[in-house]
Structure 1
Amino acid sequence: MDYLEEILQAAQRIRPFIRETPLLRSAWLSRESGCEVYLKLENLQHTGSFKLRGAFNKLLSLTPAQRERGVITASSGNHGAALAYALQALNANGTIYVPTDASLAKIAAIRAFGQEVQFYGDDCVETEAFARRQAERHGMIYISPYNDPQIIGGQGTIAVELAKQL
Protein backbone atom coordinates (compact mmCIF):
# COMPACT_ATOMS: atom_id res chain seq x y z
CA MET A 1 0.00 0.00 0.00
CA ASP A 2 1.19 3.50 -0.84
CA TYR A 3 0.54 5.30 2.45
CA LEU A 4 1.42 8.73 1.07
CA GLU A 5 -1.25 8.34 -1.61
CA GLU A 6 -3.74 7.06 0.98
CA ILE A 7 -3.04 10.06 3.23
CA LEU A 8 -3.45 12.56 0.38
CA GLN A 9 -6.71 10.92 -0.73
CA ALA A 10 -7.91 10.80 2.87
CA ALA A 11 -7.23 14.51 3.32
CA GLN A 12 -9.60 15.26 0.43
CA ARG A 13 -12.17 12.67 1.51
CA ILE A 14 -12.53 13.83 5.12
CA ARG A 15 -12.11 17.59 4.65
CA PRO A 16 -15.87 18.37 4.85
CA PHE A 17 -16.22 16.47 8.11
CA ILE A 18 -13.32 17.52 10.30
CA ARG A 19 -11.83 20.68 11.70
CA GLU A 20 -8.44 21.91 10.56
CA THR A 21 -6.94 22.30 14.00
CA PRO A 22 -4.51 25.06 14.98
CA LEU A 23 -0.77 24.59 15.23
CA LEU A 24 0.75 26.72 17.97
CA ARG A 25 4.37 27.28 18.91
CA SER A 26 5.00 26.61 22.57
CA ALA A 27 7.41 29.25 23.84
CA TRP A 28 7.96 27.42 27.12
CA LEU A 29 8.59 23.98 25.60
CA SER A 30 10.79 25.54 22.91
CA ARG A 31 12.85 27.33 25.55
CA GLU A 32 13.09 24.29 27.85
CA SER A 33 14.04 21.88 25.06
CA GLY A 34 16.36 24.15 23.14
CA CYS A 35 14.49 23.56 19.90
CA GLU A 36 11.28 24.71 18.27
CA VAL A 37 8.24 22.86 19.66
CA TYR A 38 4.78 23.15 18.14
CA LEU A 39 1.51 21.78 19.45
CA LYS A 40 -1.16 20.46 17.07
CA LEU A 41 -4.39 21.09 18.95
CA GLU A 42 -6.36 17.99 18.04
CA ASN A 43 -8.16 18.37 21.35
CA LEU A 44 -10.22 20.96 19.43
CA GLN A 45 -11.41 18.30 16.96
CA HIS A 46 -15.17 17.54 17.13
CA THR A 47 -14.62 14.60 19.48
CA GLY A 48 -11.53 15.93 21.24
CA SER A 49 -8.95 13.70 19.55
CA PHE A 50 -7.24 12.93 16.24
CA LYS A 51 -9.08 9.60 16.07
CA LEU A 52 -11.95 11.25 14.19
CA ARG A 53 -9.77 11.55 11.09
CA GLY A 54 -9.29 7.80 10.76
CA ALA A 55 -12.90 7.01 11.63
CA PHE A 56 -14.27 9.24 8.87
CA ASN A 57 -11.72 8.03 6.34
CA LYS A 58 -12.54 4.38 7.00
CA LEU A 59 -16.30 4.87 6.86
CA LEU A 60 -16.09 6.97 3.70
CA SER A 61 -13.95 4.23 2.12
CA LEU A 62 -16.68 1.62 2.58
CA THR A 63 -19.37 0.97 0.02
CA PRO A 64 -22.89 2.19 0.82
CA ALA A 65 -23.96 -1.45 1.24
CA GLN A 66 -21.18 -2.09 3.75
CA ARG A 67 -22.14 1.00 5.76
CA GLU A 68 -25.79 -0.03 5.64
CA ARG A 69 -24.99 -3.44 7.13
CA GLY A 70 -23.23 -1.66 9.97
CA VAL A 71 -19.78 -1.81 11.44
CA ILE A 72 -18.27 -3.14 14.63
CA THR A 73 -15.27 -1.94 16.58
CA ALA A 74 -13.63 -2.40 19.94
CA SER A 75 -12.40 0.58 21.90
CA SER A 76 -11.80 1.73 25.41
CA GLY A 77 -12.10 5.38 24.53
CA ASN A 78 -11.37 7.90 21.81
CA HIS A 79 -11.69 5.60 18.79
CA GLY A 80 -15.14 4.50 19.94
CA ALA A 81 -16.33 8.08 20.42
CA ALA A 82 -14.84 9.12 17.08
CA LEU A 83 -16.45 6.24 15.22
CA ALA A 84 -19.79 6.92 16.92
CA TYR A 85 -19.63 10.59 15.86
CA ALA A 86 -18.73 9.68 12.27
CA LEU A 87 -21.47 7.05 12.09
CA GLN A 88 -24.03 9.58 13.27
CA ALA A 89 -22.82 12.20 10.78
CA LEU A 90 -23.09 9.68 7.93
CA ASN A 91 -26.44 8.31 9.14
CA ALA A 92 -24.95 4.85 9.59
CA ASN A 93 -25.02 2.37 12.42
CA GLY A 94 -22.47 0.44 14.35
CA THR A 95 -21.79 -1.42 17.54
CA ILE A 96 -18.93 -0.43 19.77
CA TYR A 97 -17.60 -3.06 22.14
CA VAL A 98 -15.84 -1.81 25.25
CA PRO A 99 -14.11 -3.62 28.11
CA THR A 100 -16.14 -3.93 31.29
CA ASP A 101 -13.86 -1.42 33.02
CA ALA A 102 -14.15 1.28 30.33
CA SER A 103 -14.34 4.88 31.46
CA LEU A 104 -17.88 6.07 32.17
CA ALA A 105 -17.09 9.36 30.43
CA LYS A 106 -16.02 7.53 27.25
CA ILE A 107 -19.11 5.32 27.34
CA ALA A 108 -21.29 8.42 27.71
CA ALA A 109 -19.55 10.04 24.73
CA ILE A 110 -20.20 7.00 22.54
CA ARG A 111 -23.85 6.84 23.58
CA ALA A 112 -24.28 10.60 23.06
CA PHE A 113 -23.64 10.00 19.37
CA GLY A 114 -26.42 7.41 19.23
CA GLN A 115 -24.42 4.22 18.88
CA GLU A 116 -24.89 0.93 20.65
CA VAL A 117 -22.37 0.08 23.36
CA GLN A 118 -21.76 -3.54 24.30
CA PHE A 119 -19.54 -4.65 27.17
CA TYR A 120 -17.23 -7.61 26.87
CA GLY A 121 -13.95 -8.67 28.41
CA ASP A 122 -11.67 -7.54 31.16
CA ASP A 123 -9.19 -5.86 28.83
CA CYS A 124 -8.81 -4.47 25.32
CA VAL A 125 -7.35 -7.70 23.92
CA GLU A 126 -10.37 -9.79 24.97
CA THR A 127 -12.77 -7.10 23.79
CA GLU A 128 -11.14 -6.81 20.37
CA ALA A 129 -11.06 -10.58 19.81
CA PHE A 130 -14.75 -10.84 20.67
CA ALA A 131 -15.71 -7.86 18.49
CA ARG A 132 -13.85 -9.39 15.54
CA ARG A 133 -15.76 -12.66 16.00
CA GLN A 134 -19.06 -10.79 16.19
CA ALA A 135 -18.32 -8.88 12.98
CA GLU A 136 -17.51 -12.12 11.17
CA ARG A 137 -20.57 -13.87 12.59
CA HIS A 138 -22.91 -11.07 11.45
CA GLY A 139 -21.27 -10.26 8.11
CA MET A 140 -20.25 -6.80 9.25
CA ILE A 141 -17.04 -4.86 8.80
CA TYR A 142 -14.70 -4.81 11.79
CA ILE A 143 -12.87 -1.49 12.11
CA SER A 144 -9.60 -1.74 13.97
CA PRO A 145 -8.65 1.34 15.98
CA TYR A 146 -5.01 0.99 14.93
CA ASN A 147 -4.37 -1.75 12.35
CA ASP A 148 -6.22 -0.62 9.25
CA PRO A 149 -4.82 1.21 6.19
CA GLN A 150 -7.70 3.70 6.02
CA ILE A 151 -7.54 4.41 9.75
CA ILE A 152 -3.80 5.01 9.44
CA GLY A 153 -4.30 7.14 6.34
CA GLY A 154 -6.91 9.25 8.08
CA GLN A 155 -4.69 9.83 11.11
CA GLY A 156 -1.88 10.73 8.72
CA THR A 157 -3.83 13.72 7.43
CA ILE A 158 -2.43 15.58 10.43
CA ALA A 159 0.88 15.64 8.51
CA VAL A 160 -0.81 17.31 5.53
CA GLU A 161 -2.09 20.06 7.82
CA LEU A 162 1.29 20.38 9.55
CA ALA A 163 3.03 20.85 6.22
CA LYS A 164 0.59 23.63 5.31
CA GLN A 165 0.77 25.33 8.69
CA LEU A 166 4.53 25.35 9.33
Structure 2
Amino acid sequence: MIDIGLSKMALIGVVALVVIGPEKLPKVARTVGTLLGKAQRYVNDVKAEVNRSMELDELRKMKENVESAARDVEQSVHTSAKDFEKDWNEVTSSINASGSDGTENAAPEYDWSTQSAVVPAYSHPRKNWRLKRGAVPQWYKSRTGVRTKAQSGAARVARFRPRKPL
Protein backbone atom coordinates (compact mmCIF):
# COMPACT_ATOMS: atom_id res chain seq x y z
CA MET A 1 0.00 0.00 0.00
CA ILE A 2 1.22 3.50 -0.73
CA ASP A 3 2.18 5.40 2.40
CA ILE A 4 0.99 8.98 1.97
CA GLY A 5 1.63 11.21 4.94
CA LEU A 6 0.71 14.83 5.61
CA SER A 7 4.02 16.13 4.22
CA LYS A 8 3.61 14.23 0.94
CA MET A 9 0.05 15.47 0.53
CA ALA A 10 1.18 19.06 1.12
CA LEU A 11 3.91 18.65 -1.51
CA ILE A 12 1.36 17.25 -4.01
CA GLY A 13 -0.94 20.21 -3.28
CA VAL A 14 1.84 22.77 -3.86
CA VAL A 15 2.86 21.11 -7.14
CA ALA A 16 -0.79 21.00 -8.27
CA LEU A 17 -1.22 24.68 -7.37
CA VAL A 18 1.83 25.62 -9.44
CA VAL A 19 1.01 23.38 -12.42
CA ILE A 20 -2.76 23.83 -12.61
CA GLY A 21 -3.11 27.31 -11.22
CA PRO A 22 -5.31 28.72 -8.46
CA GLU A 23 -8.30 29.36 -10.79
CA LYS A 24 -8.73 25.80 -12.00
CA LEU A 25 -7.57 23.95 -8.87
CA PRO A 26 -10.99 23.76 -7.08
CA LYS A 27 -12.70 22.43 -10.22
CA VAL A 28 -9.94 19.84 -10.79
CA ALA A 29 -10.06 18.80 -7.10
CA ARG A 30 -13.86 18.31 -7.35
CA THR A 31 -13.45 16.25 -10.52
CA VAL A 32 -10.73 14.10 -8.98
CA GLY A 33 -12.89 13.58 -5.89
CA THR A 34 -15.90 12.44 -7.94
CA LEU A 35 -13.70 10.12 -10.02
CA LEU A 36 -12.20 8.58 -6.88
CA GLY A 37 -15.70 8.11 -5.45
CA LYS A 38 -16.87 6.39 -8.64
CA ALA A 39 -13.79 4.16 -8.59
CA GLN A 40 -14.46 3.17 -4.96
CA ARG A 41 -18.11 2.40 -5.76
CA TYR A 42 -17.04 0.30 -8.75
CA VAL A 43 -14.53 -1.67 -6.65
CA ASN A 44 -17.19 -2.23 -3.95
CA ASP A 45 -19.69 -3.42 -6.59
CA VAL A 46 -17.14 -5.88 -7.99
CA LYS A 47 -16.39 -7.19 -4.49
CA ALA A 48 -20.10 -7.61 -3.76
CA GLU A 49 -20.62 -9.46 -7.06
CA VAL A 50 -17.74 -11.83 -6.30
CA ASN A 51 -19.16 -12.49 -2.81
CA ARG A 52 -22.62 -13.15 -4.29
CA SER A 53 -21.21 -15.60 -6.81
CA MET A 54 -19.26 -17.45 -4.10
CA GLU A 55 -22.39 -17.67 -1.92
CA LEU A 56 -24.38 -18.90 -4.92
CA ASP A 57 -21.83 -21.67 -5.52
CA GLU A 58 -22.04 -22.67 -1.86
CA LEU A 59 -25.84 -22.75 -2.04
CA ARG A 60 -25.70 -24.93 -5.16
CA LYS A 61 -23.42 -27.38 -3.37
CA MET A 62 -25.74 -27.46 -0.38
CA LYS A 63 -28.72 -28.03 -2.69
CA GLU A 64 -26.97 -30.98 -4.34
CA ASN A 65 -26.17 -32.46 -0.92
CA VAL A 66 -29.77 -32.11 0.22
CA GLU A 67 -31.10 -33.61 -3.01
CA SER A 68 -28.77 -36.61 -2.75
CA ALA A 69 -29.81 -37.14 0.88
CA ALA A 70 -33.47 -36.95 -0.17
CA ARG A 71 -32.85 -39.54 -2.89
CA ASP A 72 -31.18 -41.85 -0.37
CA VAL A 73 -34.13 -41.50 2.01
CA GLU A 74 -36.58 -42.15 -0.83
CA GLN A 75 -34.70 -45.30 -1.84
CA SER A 76 -34.67 -46.58 1.73
CA VAL A 77 -38.41 -45.88 2.09
CA HIS A 78 -39.14 -47.76 -1.15
CA THR A 79 -37.09 -50.78 -0.06
CA SER A 80 -38.73 -50.84 3.36
CA ALA A 81 -42.18 -50.49 1.74
CA LYS A 82 -41.44 -53.49 -0.50
CA ASP A 83 -40.30 -55.51 2.53
CA PHE A 84 -43.42 -54.47 4.43
CA GLU A 85 -45.68 -55.43 1.52
CA LYS A 86 -43.98 -58.82 1.23
CA ASP A 87 -44.43 -59.42 4.96
CA TRP A 88 -48.02 -58.22 4.75
CA ASN A 89 -48.79 -60.61 1.91
CA GLU A 90 -47.28 -63.49 3.87
CA VAL A 91 -49.37 -62.68 6.94
CA THR A 92 -52.61 -62.20 5.02
CA SER A 93 -52.07 -65.37 3.00
CA SER A 94 -51.48 -67.37 6.19
CA ILE A 95 -54.65 -65.87 7.72
CA ASN A 96 -56.66 -66.63 4.58
CA ALA A 97 -55.27 -70.18 4.44
CA SER A 98 -56.34 -70.86 8.03
CA GLY A 99 -59.88 -69.46 7.47
CA SER A 100 -62.81 -71.63 8.67
CA ASP A 101 -64.92 -71.71 5.51
CA GLY A 102 -62.04 -71.63 3.03
CA THR A 103 -63.36 -68.69 1.00
CA GLU A 104 -61.11 -65.79 0.28
CA ASN A 105 -62.53 -62.53 1.57
CA ALA A 106 -59.31 -60.53 1.45
CA ALA A 107 -59.17 -57.22 -0.39
CA PRO A 108 -57.25 -57.14 -3.70
CA GLU A 109 -53.65 -56.03 -3.48
CA TYR A 110 -53.01 -52.35 -3.94
CA ASP A 111 -49.90 -51.17 -5.75
CA TRP A 112 -48.47 -48.28 -3.71
CA SER A 113 -45.60 -47.66 -6.12
CA THR A 114 -47.96 -46.16 -8.74
CA GLN A 115 -49.24 -43.45 -6.39
CA SER A 116 -47.69 -40.02 -6.58
CA ALA A 117 -47.68 -37.50 -3.77
CA VAL A 118 -50.37 -34.84 -4.10
CA VAL A 119 -49.00 -31.42 -3.30
CA PRO A 120 -51.46 -28.53 -2.92
CA ALA A 121 -50.85 -25.47 -5.07
CA TYR A 122 -49.28 -22.43 -3.42
CA SER A 123 -51.61 -19.59 -2.56
CA HIS A 124 -50.45 -16.17 -1.38
CA PRO A 125 -51.59 -15.32 2.17
CA ARG A 126 -52.84 -11.87 1.05
CA LYS A 127 -52.35 -10.29 4.46
CA ASN A 128 -53.63 -6.72 4.31
CA TRP A 129 -51.56 -5.85 1.24
CA ARG A 130 -53.92 -3.03 0.29
CA LEU A 131 -53.38 -1.43 3.69
CA LYS A 132 -49.61 -1.68 3.29
CA ARG A 133 -49.61 -0.26 -0.23
CA GLY A 134 -51.90 2.63 0.67
CA ALA A 135 -50.17 3.57 3.91
CA VAL A 136 -49.04 7.19 4.16
CA PRO A 137 -45.90 7.88 6.21
CA GLN A 138 -46.36 9.65 9.55
CA TRP A 139 -43.89 12.41 8.68
CA TYR A 140 -45.95 13.28 5.59
CA LYS A 141 -49.18 13.37 7.58
CA SER A 142 -47.69 15.70 10.18
CA ARG A 143 -46.16 17.97 7.52
CA THR A 144 -49.41 18.31 5.52
CA GLY A 145 -51.67 18.65 8.55
CA VAL A 146 -53.61 15.40 8.17
CA ARG A 147 -55.42 14.39 11.36
CA THR A 148 -54.09 11.10 12.65
CA LYS A 149 -56.38 10.67 15.66
CA ALA A 150 -60.13 10.34 15.25
CA GLN A 151 -62.23 12.73 17.32
CA SER A 152 -66.00 13.02 17.57
CA GLY A 153 -67.79 16.16 16.44
CA ALA A 154 -68.82 17.12 19.98
CA ALA A 155 -65.27 16.70 21.26
CA ARG A 156 -63.91 18.83 18.40
CA VAL A 157 -66.44 21.61 19.14
CA ALA A 158 -65.63 21.48 22.85
CA ARG A 159 -61.94 21.65 22.09
CA PHE A 160 -62.14 24.77 19.96
CA ARG A 161 -64.90 26.53 21.94
CA PRO A 162 -63.64 29.79 23.46
CA ARG A 163 -63.17 29.54 27.20
CA LYS A 164 -65.01 31.81 29.60
CA PRO A 165 -62.67 34.13 31.46
CA LEU A 166 -62.51 33.55 35.20
Shorter-chain TM-score tier: under 0.3
More strand by share: 1
Which of structures 1 and 2 has the bigger CA Rg? 2
User: Which structure is higher in RCO with an 8 Å CA cutoff and minimum separation 6?
Assistant: 1
Give the TM-score taking structure 2 as reference length: 0.18
More helix by share: 2
